[in-house]
Amino acid sequence: MDFNQIFRDRTKNFSISIIKLLSPLPYSDALSIIRKQIIRSATSVAANYRAVSRARSDKERFAKICIVVEEIDETQLWLEIIEELKYVDSEKLLAIKSECEELVKVMTTYKFKLSQNI
């Protein structure tokens, strides 16, 4: 299997899951800010991971994976906040939080391995 394609699909599906989860929630000023931030960071993970797989050099790949790690970590923060504020039921967040944690681990490991090459 192609690692890059697997994670291109996973990061895109992760973004879609977050959009589907948060889109139906009712409007409030605070929730709208959080919703915008979490959707922005989650979609940035997918977009920047695509850039990782198309990088022209190890340095460019490393720069992009650094952005991916930063954005997936930010997404994890927003998921924690949305859960603690009880905007979304914890049960509904389990699968997304689990996928986020896996993506954090994989992308952090990938970043470390790339850093060894440059």
* Tens digit of each residue's pLDDT (9 = 90 or more) over 47-85: 999 999 899 999 999 999 999 999 999 999 999 999 999
Q: How far is residue 59's CA from residue 57's CA, in Å, rounded to a whole number?
A: 5
Q: How many domains does the chain have?
A: 1
* CATH code, domain with 45: 1.20.1440.60
Q: How far is residue 91's CA from residue 100's CA, in Å, rounded to a whole number?
A: 15
Structural domain boundaries, residue 38: 3-117
* Tens digit of each residue's pLDDT (9 = 90 or more) over 79-110: 999 999 999 999 999 999 999 999 999 999 99
